Amino acid sequence: MSFSNDKQSKWDSVKRYKLNKMINKLGNITGHGTELVTVYIPPRRPIYDIVSQLKNEAGTASNIKSDLTRNHVQDALSRTVEHLKLYKVPPENGLVIFCGAIPTGKGIGTEKIEIYSVEPPKAVQINLYRCDDHFWIDHLKDMMKDDKVVGILSLDTQEAGFGILTGDRWEVVESLTSGVAGKHRQGGQSARRFERLRDNELNEYYRRVADYAQNIFIDEYDVKGIIIGGPGPTKEGFIREEYLDYRLQNN
């Protein structure tokens, strides 16, 4: 089974779904012995280096005491080497191969050698060979995570919080208080003067929020989008008056 990374198209949701489904399947496989082979190949690693390494591993596998495990490991390595002969150089993002004796549910000795070849959505960063009772899928799972960074801004008239959402990970990175007094409950001229002062304080507070947003969401994290939350009037007024940097206003 092979999942290729077409240079002419982005990794769409369908392709991600299929690969995630395959990863989940591989994660549920347990070999009867250390006979499941995992190989991670970085983009610039020469194929002949990997082939040479796997042939050496096949020679070492001849020392395995169990006839069944020895045959399974050597068969998996041989199948992987044959697959690598299809490539002159690694694909653009490298290559990940899982190969081994997969239990059929009919008992020991009925396993079937299967191979799964993946051209991942991101460049392989490690050179890895493992022969174990499970496939090493964690590195591939990490590459499947959505690394789109989204900024979160929540504000009311008393405080503002700034957060970063990366994939399924949420982090609060900063907060600030407004220093703005509560609304004046009495009428008269003093109340109107108080409201003017309060409006000025709110204006300065919103400017500080916008400055923080620029520093965090543009200078530090370069977010791909921003979500603004908070009480309706406060949030809508902040957005309407365009306090935010223009680069964040349309996100």
pLDDT at site 91: 94
What is the CATH classification number for the domain harbouring 120? 3.30.960.10
Which stretches does DSSP call E strand in the chain?
Answer: 2-3, 36-41, 95-102, 112-118, 128-132, 149-155, 159-166, 169-177, 225-229
pTM above 0.75, yes or no: no
Residue of 170, 121, 151 lying closest to 225 (CA atoms): 151
Write the pLDDT tens digit of every residue in 11-67: 556 777 788 899 999 999 999 889 999 999 999 999 999 999 999 999 999 999 999
Q: Where does a domain end: 144, 178, 197?
A: 144
Domain span at residue 230 reads 149-249
For residues 109 and 158, state if they share a domain: no
Cα dihedral: 165, 171, 176, 178 (round 10): 50
For residues 174 and 204, state if they share a domain: yes
For residues 64 and 24, state if they share a domain: yes
What is the tally of structural domains in the chain? 2
- Kindly state the average pLDDT of the residues 140-150: 81
Helix (H, G, I), strand (E, B) or coil at 156: coil
Residue whose pair of structure tokens reads 């081994």 in the numeric block: 100
pLDDT at site 7: 40
pLDDT at site 185: 57
The DSSP call for residue 133 is: S
Position 179 confidence tier, pLDDT thresholds 50, 70, 90: confident
Mean of all residue pLDDT scores within the chain: 87
Q: How far apart are CA 199 and CA 177, in angstroms?
A: 16
For residues 127 and 239, state if they share a domain: no
More confident residue, 170 or 58: 58
- Kindly state the average pLDDT of the residues 115-122: 93
For residues 107 and 158, state if they share a domain: no
> Cα separations (Å) of 161 from 152, 165, 244?
8, 13, 15
Residue of 162, 152, 159 lying closest to 234 (CA atoms): 159
> Cα separations (Å) of 91 from 15, 40, 54, 127, 179?
17, 12, 19, 14, 56
What is the CATH classification number for the domain harbouring 187? 3.30.420.60
For residues 244 and 131, state if they share a domain: no
Write the pLDDT tens digit of every residue in 80-113: 999 999 999 999 999 999 999 998 878 787 889 9
Q: How far apart are CA 166 and CA 222, in angstroms?
A: 12
